[in-house]
Homo-oligomer: A and B are copies of this chain.
Amino acid sequence: MKVFLVFAHPEPQSLTASLRDVATHELMALGHEVNVSDLYAMGWKSNIDRPDFPMLAPDERMRVAYASGSAFLTGTLTDDVKAEQAKLLWADAVILQFPLWWYSMPAILKGWVERVYSAGFAYGVGVSNECRGGDRYGEGVFAGKRAMLVVSVGGRQENYSSRGICGPIDDVLFPINHGILYYPGFDVLPPFIAWETDRMDAPGFEAASSALRDRMQSLETTEPIPYRSLNGGDYEFPGQTLRPELGAADAFGFRLHVRE
């Protein structure tokens, strides 16, 4: 397989970087091709702004989605963005690896999504009408590819359990797994989480490394999270709401969008 790992941590000596090396070494030992975008090391530009769209007239109002779609269509995206899009198209599997900062991905990775996910490429594609919502949530440019998160969390697993103060980790990661990965068509694997990374000792690191190697070994075979396809019949249009007869009677929120 061709595996593209997008890495977002500023410190090469960090635990997160050590886990990246565990993952990439295991993938290569398994015979996979691996390509890593180390965003901090690349000096990745985080902020989507006017210099991203060189064809925009200086006094023209920048509508981000329109400017992005136009630049994608005319091949005038910046070279750094084109290179990341090419890596995504090359890959059979994409891994986003990052520390959980303030309940989300680091800004540098969020900015990678904002800039690399052009309109016409990762969103704004396909037919939208009274019975379809475009090629998204289960369809899209990355259909047939796998994706997974590898996340370092400073807190304890219990803090992110069903009744933990931080909210369930699956809900915390839902906007990324469902909203960023499933949206343009990836099959999204359950995330790999390293817990309590601020106080991990050597045996803890060995255990996390071993579990991560297992996940790399099963990258081709792990069952994806069974999110419901937007256009597969489970949703009503134009509201794009789950049909009333679907989902557990007492269910609410993000978990409704995972098939039982």
Contact = CB atoms under 8 A, between A and B. Distances in A.
A253 B162 contact: yes
A239 B104 contact: no
B198 A163 contact: no
Interface stretch (A41-49, A85-93, A143-151, A214-222): A41-49
A188 to B, nearest CB: 14
Nearest to A11: B62
A10 interface: yes
A125 interface: no
Max chain B Cβ within 10 angstroms of own Cβ: one of A13, A106, A180: A106
Interface stretch (A20-28, A29-37, A72-80, A107-115): A107-115
Nearest to A165: B240
Interface string A145-172: 0000000001010110111111110011
Contact of A107 (B111, B137, B159, B242): B111
Contacts of A154: 65
Interface in A46-69: 46-50, 61-65
A102 B179 contact: yes
Please classify how large the interface on chain A is, using the bins under 10, 10 to 19, 20 to 34, 35 or more. Answer: 35 or more
Given A113-B102, A180-B103, A255 B257 contact: no
The 7 lowest CB-CB distance pairs between A and B, nearest first, are A107-B111, A103-B175, A158-B239, A103-B179, A250-B250, A107-B110, A13-B61
A11 B102 contact: no
A174 interface: yes
Contacts of A167: 174-175, 178-179, 253-254, 257
B156 A179 contact: no
Contacts of A99: 64
A172 B171 contact: no
Given A103-B179, A253-B255, 5 more contacts: A44-B47, A104-B110, A163-B241, A168-B252, A171-B171
A195 interface: no
Contacts of A46: 46-47, 107-108, 111
